[in-house]
Amino acid sequence: MTLIASPPPGAKATRNHPKKESLFQRIRNGSAWITILTIVVIVVLWQIIPQTGLINRVLFPTFTDTVAAFVQLLGSSYWWGDLTKTMSAVGIAWVIGVAFGFAMGVALGTSPFVRTAITPYAIAVQALPKVVLAPLLIGWLGFGSESKIALAVIICFFPVWIDTMVGLSLPSANEFKLLQSLKASKRQVFLKLQLPTAIPLIMVGVKHALLLAFTGVIVAEILAASDGGLGTLAKEFASQLNMGMTYAVVFVVVIIAVTLVSIADVVERRVVFWSEESRARKR
Amino acid sequence: MTITTQTSPLVKAEGITKIFGTGDKEMVALSGLNLEVKEGEFLSLLGPSGCGKSTALNIMGGLLRATEGTITFGGEPMTEPRRQIGMMFQQAVMFPWRTTLENVLLPVEIFGESKKEFKPKAQELLSMVGISEFENSYPWQLSGGMQQRAALARVLLHDPKLLLLDEPFGALDEFTRETMNQELLRLQNYANSTAVLVTHNITEAVFMSDRIAVMSARPGRLVGILEVPFDRPRRPELQTTNDFIKLVAEARSMLELQ
Amino acid sequence: MTRTEGIAQVAISNTPKARRKKAAPYLLTIALAPFILFVWWLSTDVLKAVPPILLPTPGSVIEAFPRVVGAAGFGDQVLRTLTEIAGGFALGGAIGFLLGILLSTSSRLRSAYLPFLSALEAIPTVILAPIIIAWIGFGIEGKILQAAIACFYAVFITTLSGLGLAEPNAINLMRSLRASRWQIMFKVKVPIALPVIFGGLQLGATTAIIGAIVSEFIGATGGLGYLMLRYRSSFNTPSYWVIIFIFLAIGLVVYLTIWWLEKKFVFWRSASINRPDLEKQ
């Protein structure tokens, strides 16, 4: 039964990671200098090594070449369509995946009996690498955005489903007893106890789903080249051995991903303020 | 046994101040503590939470460095933990992946000594604290009281001169706690060691100690020392005598004076 | 932690009646299997509601099974994919574990590097696949690298946060015994972190498998992913589904292996959660 506790532990573990510090704190305790030094060393090596001829300069452009490519990419407008395509697919898939996952979690998670019965299947769904479906979906739905969205939904609904299901089981026996003593109806127990208790965990799943939706869309884009999107763009540049531009596209993806996660973190902290508060007090 | 004032102090703390954090977050945990612990005595640090009694204990044990002041153990300055000092904490700190015996032998492992050599002594101590039949059980198969008994055996394994006890039985229920206190007194007498107990329970402090250092909170400082003249060994009945109740009342008034 | 405990609290009593009550949901589990099979059969074979290019009939998949498994060189393809997964998992897991230990020892290193490493949580690592292929080609090394990158972060972050779980009193006890940093690390912190690290390994294994497959899809000369693309381009969907089931089996075997290892190495954890309250002496 405890098996199901394992699915997205990475997401859970990120919650108690060491606190993020402000830039000021980091300058004062000296860690900012380590950061800056590391970056400088990397940039210098990146600049020098390709020029020495030790490695192929076409495959490994220098730092300045890469920056030039990035500026060129930002200055041109032809890839805006790709960006929009990718992001809208991620957004649509995420919304569908979260709604679907939440509905499944509620349907299967409210009753402990059903929850236990369904657990082995949940493990199977988790154990199956769902990207294996990508070529099938592309073959069926074609190279358009439908296949991207379908794949991303299949990949991203899972953590929401599991976290909702597990979250609903979190209230303690005493909490259930309190509501029973108040003669609360099943619906009231769900709305006033189970759901609020589950929300912090559901938020973790929702955040995780965002990242997985992004992954799903990129995978589909790399595999199905004709519709466009950032994944397609990266693949095309790479196949032309235009590595500077490939790096630039990857860099754009990194920036978007980090921004999305930061926004999600802020939203999460707002929504589940009480859990943050109680965690802080426990320290 | 009454305390003879001639014995030289085992621990001597002079003007101990401990400040945590800096700037706005500065917190004075302990302010100008002067305290002597005499050889062979049982001393309690009594005070409300936040009075710095645990901080004082950790400084005595060498786990923390004082911000100001000096502290000596047997005449030498304390800068780091020592082998002759054994510490017990509020939790038994039994590692769940080790059997009871392995937990008791942990210090041997860390000191790099032969486990084989110490095994008979560890087993003897386990039978002395009354849990010899559990030596191959895991801590999670033991009750909280039994775990603390094992912790007692562990701390006594290297014949410590000084026992530093940070509310060791604070997490136990009242009944178990009383038995364990009796047990502690018996073993301290047997091992012939000095003990410093941190507690916020007045009755416990009076029952256990030769002297009580009463402390107050924010900032943590010493309010006064209370001598406890009762004979040893002490029996539970002592707690219902008038003298005992009077001393408890006195300790309480010292705590409330602040 | 609360997550496991919340569920695990249920199972304590061991009377026959309680055991029967505990087993009851699993009867539904067993009953569901033929039901799912039936729905699959009904929707494909009978109602023809699902296009066969997406989901073929159960019969055709079963028929295709011996053909796929018996095909020449099939064993080599399986072996190749398994090597990629295992290699990537070992590489990424080892680096993640060691880096987690390293960063846990110094708060300065942590605040210097954690922001960058945390970015790895956000990045869909598959975007690196085109670069990796351009760098080192379609060979097995690239797949291992892709899988390693995919699983690194989960192991790293769980190791790092697991190492922070030791109670201050446990550390204090060790320090009062004059234990060295490394004794504290390997006798206390690592064992306490193990349950969390195993969670990371579980997640890391899943992502390593995904990394290897995607990498094979994008460009490979062999392996199960390559085989899948060949079946798809010849519209041999039943054979394709056979390999999906093989991947399901691989995923389950990996999952259960790690789960079993966890039971072995972290035997005290589930036992201590389910500990019946001994009577106080």
Q: Give Cα C94 to chain centroid, integer Å.
A: 15
| Helices assigned H by DSSP within chain B | 53-60, 100-104, 106-111, 115-128, 144-156, 174-191, 202-208, 242-257
Q: Looking at the 3D structure of chain B, how many domains does it have?
A: 1
A55 vs C257 pLDDT, higher one: C257
Give the amino acid at C90: A
Contacts of A112 in chain C (CB under 8 A): 10, 25
Residue C278, H or E segment: none
What confidence tier does A1 reach under pLDDT thresholds 50, 70, 90? Answer: very low
Residues of chain B under the 50 pLDDT cut: 1-5
Q: Which chains are within 8 Å of B by 3+ CB pairs?
A: C
By C-alpha distance, which of C37, C25, C163, C47 is closest to C98? C163
Q: Let me know if A172 is exposed, middle or buried by CB neighbors in 10 A (0-12, 13-18, 19+).
A: middle
Q: Where are the domains of chain C?
A: 10-46, 63-273
> Using one digit for the tens of pLDDT, what is the confidence trace for C164-220?
998 889 999 999 999 999 999 999 999 999 999 999 999 999 999 999 999 999 888
CB-nearest to A13 from C130, C157, C270 is C157
Q: Is the CB of residue A161 less than 8 Å from the CB of residue A153? A: no
What pLDDT is recorded for position C251?
A: 94
Q: Are B225 and B212 in contact (CB under 8 A)?
A: yes
Q: How confident is the model at residue C2 (pLDDT cuts 50, 70, 90)?
A: very low
| Amino acid C281: pLDDT | 24
Alpha-carbon span C1 to A9, nearest angstrom: 10
pLDDT tens-digit series, residues A74-127: 888 888 888 999 999 999 999 999 999 999 999 988 888 888 888 899 989 988
SS3 (DSSP) at A69:
helix
C/A touch flag: 3 or more CB pairs below 8 Å = yes
C228, pLDDT greater than 90: yes
C239 φψ region: left (φ > 0), alpha (ψ -120 to 50), beta (else): alpha
pLDDT at C98: 95
Please name the residues between 67 and 106 in chain A that touch chain C, using a CB distance below 8 Å: none
- Model confidence at A17, in pLDDT bands (50, 70, 90)? very low
Distances (CA, A) of A157 to A142, A207, A211, B142: 22, 11, 11, 43
Please give the radius of gyration of chain A, using alpha carbons only, rounded to the nearest integer.
23
Q: Which chains touch A (3+ CB pairs under 8 A)? A: C
pLDDT single digits (tens) B194-236: 999 999 999 999 999 999 999 988 788 898 999 998 988 888 8
In a domain, B102, yes or no: yes
In eight-state DSSP terms, residue B177 is: H
Q: The tokens of A120 are what?
A: 């082995």
Q: From the list C28, C130, C206, which residue is nearest A117 (CB)?
A: C28
Of B58, B95, B110, the CB nearest to C177: B110
| CA proximity to B64, closest of B99, B33, B24, B37 | B33
B181 found inside a domain: yes
Per CB-CB distance under 8 Å, the chain B contacts of C170 are 91, 93, 95
Please answer whether residues C91 and C211 qualify as being in contact, where contact means their C-beta atoms are separated by less than 8 angstroms.
no
Domain range holding B58? 10-257
Q: Domain with B78 in it: what CATH number?
A: 3.40.50.300
- Edge to edge, what strands does the sheet with B9-20 contain? B27-38, B9-20, B68-73, B76-77
Task: Please tell me the distance in Å from A183's CA to the nearest CA on chain C.
Answer: 23
Q: Cβ C187–B109 below 8 Å, yes or no?
A: yes
The answer to whether the CB atoms of A172 and C243 lie below 8 A apart is no
Asked if A132 and C244 come within 8 Å (Cβ–Cβ), the reply is yes
* ipTM score of complex: 0.84
Comparing C160 with A34, the larger pLDDT belongs to C160
Nearest CA in chain B to C273: B140
Q: Are B129 and B153 in contact (CB under 8 A)?
A: yes
Q: What is the CA radius of gyration of chain B?
A: 18
pLDDT at A219 over 70: yes
In b/e form, how buried is each residue of C98-107, taking b as 16+ CB within 10 angstroms?
A: ebbbebbeee
Indicate the residue of C167, C266, C281 with minimum beta-carbon distance to B145. Answer: C281
Q: Which two tokens stand for residue A168?
A: 């609903």
In a domain, B159, yes or no: yes
Q: Higher pLDDT residue, B6 or C263?
A: C263
* Residue B4 covered by a domain: no
Average pLDDT along chain C: 86
Do A163 and A212 contact (CB within 8 A), yes or no? no
Is residue C88 within 8 A of residue C145, CB to CB? The reply is yes
A135 contacts in chain C (CB < 8 Å): 217, 228-229, 232, 240
Q: Tell me, what amino acid is at A255?
A: I
Nearest residue of C to residue A111, measured between CA atoms: C25
- How is domain C63-273 classified at the architecture level of CATH? Orthogonal Bundle (1.10)
**Contacts of residue C137, Cβ cutoff 8 Å, sequence gap at least 6:** none
Domain presence at residue B51? yes
Q: In a 3-state reduction of DSSP, which class is residue A150? A: helix
Stretch A164-187: mean pLDDT? 84
Q: How confident is the model at residue A7 (pLDDT cuts 50, 70, 90)?
A: very low
Which positions in chain B touch C179 (Cβ < 8 Å)?
110
179-198 in C: which are within 8 Å (CB) of B?
179, 183, 187-188, 191
The residue in chain B having the minimum alpha-carbon distance to the alpha carbon of residue C178 is: B81
Interface contacts (A, C; CB < 8 Å): 245
Residue A209 structure tokens: 């789903």
Cβ count within 10 A of residue C37? 11
Of A45-59, A212-226, B194-208, the poorest mean pLDDT is in A45-59
Percent of chain C at pLDDT above 70?
89
